[in-house]
Amino acid sequence: MEKTNFWNDAARYGVIMALVAIVFDTLGFYTQHALLSLASLVLFLLLLTTFTKLRAARYGARGYSYGKCLGFMVGMMLCAGFIEGAYMSAAANWLFASKYDVMLGQQIAALENTGIYTADQLDLMARWMRSPLVLIFASMLGSAIKGGFFGLFIAAFARRDAAVFVEGADPDREDRTDAGNRGNTGNE
């Protein structure tokens, strides 16, 4: 069995995806434009598809199934979510604390207007939204769900069937061919 370096590839591509997400998160502190969200989504889908296809091409000589593609996308997004969550923790508490307070205040005010939550619950939510562990875990979970959802569709296009005519593509076939051709010279 060949060594595939699953987590090395997932981390490498996850870092790239996290850096792109961090750029869009930072721009989101300054502007809340719909085109920015659309551009972020399109770039996310392109990167997710490209990285999964690269992985399938590199390790798919004997096939790279739908499940392997989906698993790789979720692994990649877990790595990206960890980095993005760490950045958001730093941004919320130090780098962009005032802008984060404004965004958080708007969200808490919207929840307060529903009348469902008490003041204590809203205060607890506001504290949780600044907690580094909560931000990292929520980002990892959200990224894994987002990667898994879009991965359901992308994996269908990125998967790779085993090559039919490549020598050694099916180890069972190799044994049968050798055993069947031992006395056969091809002159019969």
Establish if 140 belongs to a structural domain: yes
How many whole angstroms separate alpha carbon 72 and alpha carbon 37? 25
Domain residues for 159?
6-163
Higher pLDDT, 184 or 142: 142
Establish if 82 belongs to a structural domain: yes
Establish if 171 belongs to a structural domain: no
How many whole angstroms separate alpha carbon 150 and alpha carbon 45? 8
pLDDT at 18 over 90: yes
- Percent of the chain at pLDDT exceeding 70: 84
- C-alpha torsion angle, residues 166, 167, 173, 174 (rounded to 10): 180
Please report the pLDDT score of residue 116 as a whole number: 87
| pLDDT tier at 177, thresholds 50, 70, 90 | very low
Establish if 65 belongs to a structural domain: yes
Establish if 152 belongs to a structural domain: yes
**Residues 6 or more apart from 94 whose CB is under 8 A from it?**
none
Provide mean pLDDT across the span 90-106.
Answer: 85
Establish if 168 belongs to a structural domain: no
CA-nearest of 144, 16, 140 to 82 is 140
32-42 in b/e form (b: 16+ CB < 10 A) is: eeeeeeeebee
Please report the pLDDT score of residue 81 as a whole number: 96
pLDDT at 175 over 50: no
Tokens of 76: 């990649």
Please report the pLDDT score of residue 29 as a whole number: 82
Establish if 178 belongs to a structural domain: no
Q: Under a CB-based contact definition with an 8 Å cutoff, are residues 72 and 10 in contact?
A: yes
Name the domain count of the chain: 1
Say what the pTM is: 0.76
Higher pLDDT, 148 or 112: 148
Look up residue 18 and give its amino acid. Answer: A
pLDDT at 186 over 50: no
How many whole angstroms separate alpha carbon 74 and alpha carbon 17? 12
Q: Would you put residue 171 in left (φ > 0), alpha (ψ -120 to 50) or beta?
A: alpha
Establish if 182 belongs to a structural domain: no
Look up residue 74 and give its amino acid. Answer: V
**Residues 6 or more apart from 96 whose CB is under 8 A from it?**
26, 29
Tokens of 20: 């792109």
Provide mean pLDDT across the span 46-74.
Answer: 90
Kindly report the backbone phi and psi dihedral angles of residue 167, in degrees, each rounded to the nearest multiple of 5, phi listed first. Answer: -65, 130
How many whole angstroms separate alpha carbon 43 and alpha carbon 92? 24
